[in-house]
Structure 1
Amino acid sequence: MKLSEGLNVNISEVKNIIFDWGGVITDLNIDSVILAFKNLGFHHFDKAFAHDTDQSFFLGFETGKIKEPEFLKILRKYLDRDVTDRQILDAWNSILGDLPPERWTILNEVKKTYRTFLLSNTNSLHVSFYSQKLSAIYGRNGFDHLFEKIYYSHILGMRKPDRNIYEFVLQDSRLEPGETLFIDDNPENITTARELGMKAYHLAAPVTMTDIFC
Protein backbone atom coordinates (compact mmCIF):
# COMPACT_ATOMS: atom_id res chain seq x y z
CA MET A 1 0.00 0.00 0.00
CA LYS A 2 1.33 3.41 -1.01
CA LEU A 3 0.49 7.08 -0.76
CA SER A 4 -2.04 8.39 -3.25
CA GLU A 5 -1.24 11.05 -5.82
CA GLY A 6 -2.56 14.56 -5.27
CA LEU A 7 -1.18 15.22 -1.77
CA ASN A 8 0.82 18.25 -2.95
CA VAL A 9 4.04 16.53 -1.94
CA ASN A 10 6.61 14.59 -3.94
CA ILE A 11 5.60 11.13 -2.77
CA SER A 12 8.42 9.47 -4.71
CA GLU A 13 10.85 10.90 -2.14
CA VAL A 14 8.92 9.68 0.90
CA LYS A 15 10.51 6.83 2.86
CA ASN A 16 9.10 7.59 6.31
CA ILE A 17 5.64 8.59 7.54
CA ILE A 18 4.90 10.15 10.92
CA PHE A 19 1.22 9.87 11.85
CA ASP A 20 -0.74 11.89 14.36
CA TRP A 21 -3.23 9.91 16.45
CA GLY A 22 -6.37 11.90 17.28
CA GLY A 23 -7.91 13.49 14.21
CA VAL A 24 -5.94 11.27 11.82
CA ILE A 25 -5.97 7.63 12.91
CA THR A 26 -9.05 8.04 15.07
CA ASP A 27 -11.65 10.79 14.99
CA LEU A 28 -11.95 13.25 17.87
CA ASN A 29 -15.37 13.75 19.46
CA ILE A 30 -14.88 17.27 20.78
CA ASP A 31 -18.60 17.96 21.20
CA SER A 32 -19.04 14.70 23.10
CA VAL A 33 -16.38 15.42 25.70
CA ILE A 34 -17.65 18.98 26.23
CA LEU A 35 -21.19 17.70 26.76
CA ALA A 36 -20.01 14.87 29.02
CA PHE A 37 -18.25 17.27 31.37
CA LYS A 38 -21.10 19.75 31.24
CA ASN A 39 -23.34 16.93 32.47
CA LEU A 40 -20.92 16.44 35.37
CA GLY A 41 -21.13 20.11 36.28
CA PHE A 42 -18.05 21.45 34.46
CA HIS A 43 -19.88 24.18 32.56
CA HIS A 44 -16.89 25.89 30.96
CA PHE A 45 -14.91 22.82 29.99
CA ASP A 46 -14.53 24.07 26.41
CA LYS A 47 -12.64 27.17 27.56
CA ALA A 48 -10.41 25.27 29.98
CA PHE A 49 -9.71 22.64 27.32
CA ALA A 50 -8.64 25.22 24.74
CA HIS A 51 -4.99 24.62 23.94
CA ASP A 52 -4.36 28.22 22.96
CA THR A 53 -3.65 29.11 26.56
CA ASP A 54 -0.48 28.06 28.34
CA GLN A 55 -2.39 28.23 31.61
CA SER A 56 -4.48 25.19 30.76
CA PHE A 57 -3.77 22.35 33.17
CA PHE A 58 -4.53 19.99 30.32
CA LEU A 59 -1.20 20.95 28.78
CA GLY A 60 0.54 19.94 31.98
CA PHE A 61 -1.12 16.54 31.78
CA GLU A 62 -0.11 16.16 28.12
CA THR A 63 3.53 16.83 28.94
CA GLY A 64 3.65 14.59 31.99
CA LYS A 65 4.13 17.45 34.43
CA ILE A 66 0.80 16.60 36.06
CA LYS A 67 0.18 12.96 36.97
CA GLU A 68 -3.13 11.11 36.96
CA PRO A 69 -4.11 11.55 40.66
CA GLU A 70 -3.39 15.28 40.55
CA PHE A 71 -5.19 15.65 37.23
CA LEU A 72 -8.35 14.02 38.58
CA LYS A 73 -8.10 16.14 41.72
CA ILE A 74 -7.88 19.34 39.67
CA LEU A 75 -10.82 18.29 37.50
CA ARG A 76 -12.97 17.72 40.57
CA LYS A 77 -12.49 21.35 41.60
CA TYR A 78 -14.43 22.41 38.52
CA LEU A 79 -17.39 20.08 39.08
CA ASP A 80 -20.46 21.32 40.92
CA ARG A 81 -21.52 17.87 42.12
CA ASP A 82 -20.10 14.67 43.58
CA VAL A 83 -19.15 12.13 40.93
CA THR A 84 -17.15 8.92 40.84
CA ASP A 85 -13.72 8.52 39.29
CA ARG A 86 -15.35 6.24 36.72
CA GLN A 87 -17.71 9.01 35.63
CA ILE A 88 -14.79 11.40 35.20
CA LEU A 89 -12.77 8.84 33.26
CA ASP A 90 -15.70 7.99 31.00
CA ALA A 91 -16.22 11.67 30.25
CA TRP A 92 -12.52 12.24 29.62
CA ASN A 93 -12.21 9.27 27.29
CA SER A 94 -15.37 10.13 25.34
CA ILE A 95 -13.28 12.38 23.11
CA LEU A 96 -11.69 9.35 21.44
CA GLY A 97 -13.57 7.92 18.48
CA ASP A 98 -13.36 4.41 17.10
CA LEU A 99 -10.61 3.07 14.88
CA PRO A 100 -12.47 1.83 11.77
CA PRO A 101 -11.32 -1.52 10.34
CA GLU A 102 -10.22 0.09 7.08
CA ARG A 103 -7.80 2.39 8.91
CA TRP A 104 -6.51 -0.53 10.97
CA THR A 105 -5.82 -2.36 7.71
CA ILE A 106 -4.05 0.64 6.20
CA LEU A 107 -1.71 0.94 9.18
CA ASN A 108 -0.88 -2.76 8.97
CA GLU A 109 -0.20 -2.57 5.24
CA VAL A 110 1.55 0.78 4.87
CA LYS A 111 4.37 -0.24 7.23
CA LYS A 112 5.42 -2.78 4.59
CA THR A 113 6.31 0.08 2.23
CA TYR A 114 7.40 2.88 4.57
CA ARG A 115 9.00 3.28 7.97
CA THR A 116 6.06 4.41 10.09
CA PHE A 117 5.91 6.31 13.37
CA LEU A 118 3.30 7.75 15.70
CA LEU A 119 3.73 11.22 17.23
CA SER A 120 0.87 12.31 19.45
CA ASN A 121 -0.01 14.96 21.99
CA THR A 122 -1.75 12.71 24.49
CA ASN A 123 -1.83 11.53 28.09
CA SER A 124 -1.57 8.37 30.15
CA LEU A 125 -5.32 7.98 30.65
CA HIS A 126 -6.10 8.08 26.95
CA VAL A 127 -3.29 5.67 26.11
CA SER A 128 -4.42 3.18 28.75
CA PHE A 129 -8.07 3.44 27.73
CA TYR A 130 -7.37 3.00 24.04
CA SER A 131 -4.97 0.11 24.57
CA GLN A 132 -7.78 -1.77 26.31
CA LYS A 133 -10.20 -0.81 23.55
CA LEU A 134 -7.91 -2.08 20.79
CA SER A 135 -7.33 -5.28 22.72
CA ALA A 136 -11.07 -5.90 22.94
CA ILE A 137 -11.74 -5.12 19.26
CA TYR A 138 -8.61 -6.25 17.42
CA GLY A 139 -6.85 -8.46 19.94
CA ARG A 140 -3.87 -6.10 20.10
CA ASN A 141 -2.90 -4.14 23.19
CA GLY A 142 -2.13 -0.69 21.81
CA PHE A 143 -0.47 0.59 18.65
CA ASP A 144 3.00 -0.87 19.20
CA HIS A 145 2.91 -3.46 16.42
CA LEU A 146 1.73 -0.88 13.87
CA PHE A 147 4.72 1.45 14.09
CA GLU A 148 8.48 1.23 14.23
CA LYS A 149 8.37 3.58 17.20
CA ILE A 150 5.76 5.58 19.11
CA TYR A 151 6.34 9.03 20.57
CA TYR A 152 3.87 10.30 23.17
CA SER A 153 4.02 13.85 24.52
CA HIS A 154 3.38 12.88 28.15
CA ILE A 155 6.36 10.52 28.09
CA LEU A 156 8.73 12.88 26.28
CA GLY A 157 7.75 15.97 28.27
CA MET A 158 7.30 17.89 25.02
CA ARG A 159 4.38 18.50 22.71
CA LYS A 160 3.56 19.70 19.22
CA PRO A 161 3.87 22.29 17.76
CA ASP A 162 7.12 22.96 19.67
CA ARG A 163 10.14 22.32 17.46
CA ASN A 164 11.98 20.29 20.08
CA ILE A 165 9.66 17.29 19.88
CA TYR A 166 10.00 17.08 16.09
CA GLU A 167 13.76 17.44 16.29
CA PHE A 168 13.89 14.70 18.91
CA VAL A 169 11.91 12.28 16.72
CA LEU A 170 14.03 13.00 13.65
CA GLN A 171 17.27 12.51 15.55
CA ASP A 172 16.12 9.54 17.62
CA SER A 173 14.95 7.54 14.60
CA ARG A 174 17.60 8.94 12.25
CA LEU A 175 15.11 10.33 9.77
CA GLU A 176 15.96 12.66 6.92
CA PRO A 177 13.39 15.49 6.98
CA GLY A 178 13.10 15.60 3.19
CA GLU A 179 12.27 11.89 3.09
CA THR A 180 9.68 12.13 5.86
CA LEU A 181 5.97 12.85 5.50
CA PHE A 182 4.19 14.22 8.55
CA ILE A 183 0.39 13.81 8.67
CA ASP A 184 -1.60 15.85 11.19
CA ASP A 185 -4.99 17.53 11.55
CA ASN A 186 -3.64 20.67 13.25
CA PRO A 187 -2.35 23.46 10.94
CA GLU A 188 0.10 24.71 13.59
CA ASN A 189 1.69 21.27 13.81
CA ILE A 190 1.97 21.15 10.03
CA THR A 191 3.71 24.53 9.95
CA THR A 192 6.46 23.44 12.34
CA ALA A 193 7.06 20.23 10.39
CA ARG A 194 7.52 22.19 7.17
CA GLU A 195 9.83 24.68 8.86
CA LEU A 196 12.08 21.74 9.75
CA GLY A 197 12.17 20.54 6.16
CA MET A 198 9.66 17.73 6.39
CA LYS A 199 6.96 17.09 3.86
CA ALA A 200 3.61 17.59 5.54
CA TYR A 201 -0.04 16.93 4.80
CA HIS A 202 -2.85 18.65 6.66
CA LEU A 203 -5.63 16.08 7.01
CA ALA A 204 -8.92 17.97 7.21
CA ALA A 205 -12.54 16.89 6.85
CA PRO A 206 -14.08 15.56 4.72
CA VAL A 207 -10.79 13.83 3.81
CA THR A 208 -9.87 10.88 6.03
CA MET A 209 -6.83 8.65 6.26
CA THR A 210 -8.40 6.15 3.87
CA ASP A 211 -8.38 8.78 1.11
CA ILE A 212 -4.63 9.29 1.05
CA PHE A 213 -3.51 5.69 0.55
CA CYS A 214 -4.15 3.28 -2.29
Structure 2
Amino acid sequence: MKNIVFDLGNVLFKFEPDEILDGLFNDYHTKEKLKQSVFKTTIWRELDRGSLSLFQAKKLFIDKNPDLKDEIEVLLDNWKNFLHPIDENVKLLPELKKNNRLYILSNFHEEAFNYITNKYSFFELFDGMVVSYEVKLIKPERKIYEILLSRYSLVPQDTIFVDDTEENIKAAQELGINGLLYKSELSLEDLFKLEKVL
Protein backbone atom coordinates (compact mmCIF):
# COMPACT_ATOMS: atom_id res chain seq x y z
CA MET A 1 0.00 0.00 0.00
CA LYS A 2 1.25 3.47 -0.97
CA ASN A 3 0.27 6.97 0.00
CA ILE A 4 -0.56 8.89 -3.18
CA VAL A 5 -0.65 12.66 -2.79
CA PHE A 6 -2.23 14.83 -5.48
CA ASP A 7 -1.86 18.45 -6.39
CA LEU A 8 -5.18 19.85 -7.63
CA GLY A 9 -4.43 22.52 -10.26
CA ASN A 10 -3.65 20.95 -13.64
CA VAL A 11 -3.47 17.47 -12.11
CA LEU A 12 -7.07 16.86 -11.03
CA PHE A 13 -8.57 20.21 -12.06
CA LYS A 14 -7.90 22.31 -15.11
CA PHE A 15 -6.60 25.75 -14.23
CA GLU A 16 -5.83 27.80 -17.33
CA PRO A 17 -5.95 31.60 -16.85
CA ASP A 18 -6.20 32.15 -20.62
CA GLU A 19 -9.29 29.95 -20.85
CA ILE A 20 -10.88 31.68 -17.86
CA LEU A 21 -10.25 35.10 -19.39
CA ASP A 22 -11.49 33.97 -22.82
CA GLY A 23 -14.68 32.74 -21.19
CA LEU A 24 -15.37 36.05 -19.49
CA PHE A 25 -14.01 38.79 -21.78
CA ASN A 26 -13.74 39.56 -25.48
CA ASP A 27 -11.13 42.30 -25.71
CA TYR A 28 -7.57 40.99 -26.12
CA HIS A 29 -5.90 43.91 -24.33
CA THR A 30 -8.28 43.65 -21.38
CA LYS A 31 -7.49 39.94 -21.07
CA GLU A 32 -3.74 40.54 -21.19
CA LYS A 33 -3.92 43.31 -18.60
CA LEU A 34 -6.00 41.15 -16.27
CA LYS A 35 -3.64 38.22 -16.67
CA GLN A 36 -0.67 40.33 -15.60
CA SER A 37 -2.44 42.34 -12.92
CA VAL A 38 -4.34 39.45 -11.26
CA PHE A 39 -3.03 35.96 -12.01
CA LYS A 40 0.66 36.83 -12.14
CA THR A 41 0.87 38.76 -8.88
CA THR A 42 2.00 38.21 -5.32
CA ILE A 43 -1.55 39.11 -4.28
CA TRP A 44 -2.81 35.96 -6.03
CA ARG A 45 -0.15 33.92 -4.23
CA GLU A 46 -1.18 35.43 -0.91
CA LEU A 47 -4.77 34.37 -1.60
CA ASP A 48 -3.37 30.83 -1.90
CA ARG A 49 -1.50 31.33 1.35
CA GLY A 50 -4.66 32.45 3.11
CA SER A 51 -3.05 35.66 4.31
CA LEU A 52 -5.63 37.69 2.36
CA SER A 53 -9.38 37.23 2.10
CA LEU A 54 -11.01 37.49 -1.31
CA PHE A 55 -12.52 40.81 -0.20
CA GLN A 56 -9.07 42.18 0.76
CA ALA A 57 -7.49 40.91 -2.44
CA LYS A 58 -10.22 42.43 -4.58
CA LYS A 59 -9.64 45.81 -2.95
CA LEU A 60 -5.86 45.58 -3.52
CA PHE A 61 -6.31 44.57 -7.16
CA ILE A 62 -8.72 47.47 -7.78
CA ASP A 63 -6.53 49.99 -5.91
CA LYS A 64 -3.64 49.05 -8.20
CA ASN A 65 -5.78 48.94 -11.36
CA PRO A 66 -8.73 51.35 -10.93
CA ASP A 67 -9.34 51.37 -14.69
CA LEU A 68 -10.13 47.63 -14.50
CA LYS A 69 -12.48 47.80 -11.50
CA ASP A 70 -15.53 46.26 -13.19
CA GLU A 71 -13.51 43.59 -14.98
CA ILE A 72 -11.65 42.60 -11.79
CA GLU A 73 -14.95 42.19 -9.97
CA VAL A 74 -16.34 40.01 -12.77
CA LEU A 75 -13.16 37.92 -12.84
CA LEU A 76 -12.91 37.35 -9.09
CA ASP A 77 -16.61 36.58 -8.78
CA ASN A 78 -16.58 34.02 -11.60
CA TRP A 79 -13.13 32.46 -12.13
CA LYS A 80 -13.84 29.45 -9.91
CA ASN A 81 -16.69 28.41 -12.23
CA PHE A 82 -14.00 27.52 -14.79
CA LEU A 83 -12.32 24.96 -12.51
CA HIS A 84 -13.33 21.71 -14.20
CA PRO A 85 -12.14 18.22 -13.26
CA ILE A 86 -9.68 16.54 -15.62
CA ASP A 87 -11.93 13.53 -16.15
CA GLU A 88 -9.33 11.03 -17.34
CA ASN A 89 -7.34 11.63 -14.14
CA VAL A 90 -10.26 11.78 -11.72
CA LYS A 91 -11.59 8.46 -13.04
CA LEU A 92 -8.38 6.76 -11.79
CA LEU A 93 -9.13 7.64 -8.15
CA PRO A 94 -11.53 4.78 -7.28
CA GLU A 95 -9.11 2.19 -8.68
CA LEU A 96 -6.14 3.75 -6.89
CA LYS A 97 -8.15 3.88 -3.67
CA LYS A 98 -8.54 0.08 -3.61
CA ASN A 99 -4.91 -0.52 -2.59
CA ASN A 100 -3.62 2.89 -1.57
CA ARG A 101 -4.37 5.88 0.64
CA LEU A 102 -5.12 9.12 -1.21
CA TYR A 103 -4.27 12.65 -0.10
CA ILE A 104 -4.30 16.22 -1.42
CA LEU A 105 -1.49 18.76 -1.09
CA SER A 106 -2.37 21.90 -3.00
CA ASN A 107 -2.02 25.66 -3.19
CA PHE A 108 -5.61 26.89 -3.32
CA HIS A 109 -7.79 29.84 -2.32
CA GLU A 110 -10.30 29.16 0.45
CA GLU A 111 -13.41 30.23 -1.46
CA ALA A 112 -12.50 28.25 -4.58
CA PHE A 113 -11.56 25.17 -2.56
CA ASN A 114 -14.88 25.22 -0.71
CA TYR A 115 -16.65 25.63 -4.04
CA ILE A 116 -15.08 22.54 -5.68
CA THR A 117 -15.28 20.32 -2.58
CA ASN A 118 -19.00 21.06 -2.26
CA LYS A 119 -19.60 20.50 -5.97
CA TYR A 120 -17.70 17.25 -6.59
CA SER A 121 -18.32 14.07 -4.61
CA PHE A 122 -14.99 12.40 -5.46
CA PHE A 123 -13.34 14.37 -2.65
CA GLU A 124 -14.85 11.71 -0.36
CA LEU A 125 -12.22 9.29 -1.70
CA PHE A 126 -9.38 11.18 -0.01
CA ASP A 127 -7.98 10.11 3.34
CA GLY A 128 -6.72 13.59 4.14
CA MET A 129 -5.70 16.93 2.71
CA VAL A 130 -3.39 19.84 3.37
CA VAL A 131 -4.41 23.01 1.55
CA SER A 132 -2.30 26.15 1.52
CA TYR A 133 -4.88 28.66 2.78
CA GLU A 134 -5.58 26.48 5.82
CA VAL A 135 -1.94 26.14 6.98
CA LYS A 136 -0.82 29.60 5.76
CA LEU A 137 2.00 28.01 3.74
CA ILE A 138 2.47 27.41 0.02
CA LYS A 139 4.41 24.87 -1.99
CA PRO A 140 7.36 24.62 -2.47
CA GLU A 141 7.93 25.74 1.15
CA ARG A 142 9.38 22.79 3.06
CA LYS A 143 7.08 23.19 6.05
CA ILE A 144 3.90 22.41 4.11
CA TYR A 145 5.29 18.99 3.15
CA GLU A 146 6.35 18.36 6.74
CA ILE A 147 2.82 19.13 7.92
CA LEU A 148 1.41 16.59 5.44
CA LEU A 149 3.83 13.89 6.63
CA SER A 150 3.29 14.53 10.33
CA ARG A 151 -0.48 15.11 10.24
CA TYR A 152 -1.14 11.75 8.59
CA SER A 153 1.93 9.84 9.87
CA LEU A 154 3.16 9.21 6.33
CA VAL A 155 6.47 7.48 5.65
CA PRO A 156 8.19 9.48 2.87
CA GLN A 157 9.54 6.38 1.11
CA ASP A 158 6.00 4.97 0.87
CA THR A 159 4.58 8.22 -0.46
CA ILE A 160 4.20 9.39 -4.07
CA PHE A 161 3.51 13.07 -4.76
CA VAL A 162 2.00 14.06 -8.12
CA ASP A 163 2.40 17.70 -9.19
CA ASP A 164 2.72 19.60 -12.46
CA THR A 165 5.51 21.92 -11.24
CA GLU A 166 9.13 20.83 -11.07
CA GLU A 167 10.08 22.99 -8.07
CA ASN A 168 7.23 21.48 -6.04
CA ILE A 169 8.41 17.97 -6.90
CA LYS A 170 12.00 18.80 -5.95
CA ALA A 171 10.89 20.14 -2.57
CA ALA A 172 9.07 16.86 -1.89
CA GLN A 173 12.06 14.79 -2.97
CA GLU A 174 14.30 16.67 -0.54
CA LEU A 175 12.20 15.11 2.24
CA GLY A 176 12.47 11.63 0.75
CA ILE A 177 9.04 11.66 -0.91
CA ASN A 178 8.84 10.07 -4.36
CA GLY A 179 7.95 12.75 -6.89
CA LEU A 180 5.94 12.23 -10.04
CA LEU A 181 6.01 15.21 -12.42
CA TYR A 182 2.79 15.27 -14.41
CA LYS A 183 2.86 16.96 -17.77
CA SER A 184 0.06 16.15 -20.14
CA GLU A 185 2.35 14.56 -22.80
CA LEU A 186 2.13 11.28 -20.85
CA SER A 187 -1.19 10.37 -19.28
CA LEU A 188 -1.43 10.11 -15.53
CA GLU A 189 -2.61 6.53 -16.00
CA ASP A 190 0.61 5.68 -17.88
CA LEU A 191 2.72 7.39 -15.20
CA PHE A 192 1.07 5.30 -12.49
CA LYS A 193 1.57 2.13 -14.53
CA LEU A 194 5.28 2.95 -14.80
CA GLU A 195 5.32 3.36 -11.01
CA LYS A 196 3.45 0.06 -10.69
CA VAL A 197 0.64 1.54 -8.62
CA LEU A 198 -1.96 0.73 -11.28
* TM-score grouping bracket, smaller chain normalisation: 0.7 to 0.9
Q: Runs of 4+ in structure 1 displaced over 6 angstroms?
A: none
Q: What is the letter of the counterpart of residue 28 of structure 1? A: F
- What CA distance in whole angstroms lies between the structure 1 residues aligned with 2:115 and 2:26? 21
Where does 1:1-214 land on structure 2 (aligned, <5 Å)? 15-35=2-22, 36=24, 41=30, 43-48=32-37, 49-50=39-40, 56-77=42-63, 78=65, 80-83=67-70, 87-93=74-80, 96-100=83-87, 102-134=88-120, 140=121, 143=123, 145-213=124-192, 214=198
Report SS of the residue matched to 2:67. Answer: coil
Q: What is the letter of the counterpart of residue 56 of structure 2? A: E
Unmatched segments (≥5 aa) in structure 1: 1-13, 135-139
Report SS of the residue matched to 1:159. Answer: coil
Bigger RCO (CA 8 Å, 6+ sep): 1
- What CA distance in whole angstroms lies between the structure 2 residues aligned with 1:200 and 1:81? 40
Aligned residues: 189
Q: Sequence identity, in percent?
A: 28
Report SS of the residue matched to 2:70. Answer: coil
- What CA distance in whole angstroms lies between the structure 2 residues aligned with 1:67 and 1:38? 28
Q: What is the letter of the counterpart of residue 96 of structure 1? A: L
What's the CA shift string for 1:112-137, capped at 9, x where partnerless? 21111000000012113323442xxx
- What CA distance in whole angstroms lies between the structure 1 residues aligned with 2:31 and 2:59? 13
Q: Shift of the alpha carbon at 1:183?
A: 0.6
TM-score (normalizing by structure 2): 0.82
Q: Shift of the alpha carbon at 1:83?
A: 2.6
Structure 1 vs Structure 2 CA RMSD: 2.7
Q: 1:133 to 1:164 in 2, by over 3 A?
A: same
Which has the larger helix fraction? 2
What's the CA shift string for 1:139-198, capped at 9, x where partnerless? x2x72x121001110011011001010011111111111111111000000111111111
Q: 1:197 to 1:66 in 2, by over 3 A?
A: same
On the 8 A contact 2:58/2:73 being kept in 1, the answer is no
Report SS of the residue matched to 1:150. Answer: strand
On the 8 A contact 1:32/1:94 being kept in 2, the answer is no
TM-score (normalizing by structure 1): 0.76
Unmatched segments (≥5 aa) in structure 2: 193-197
On the 8 A contact 1:24/1:208 being kept in 2, the answer is no
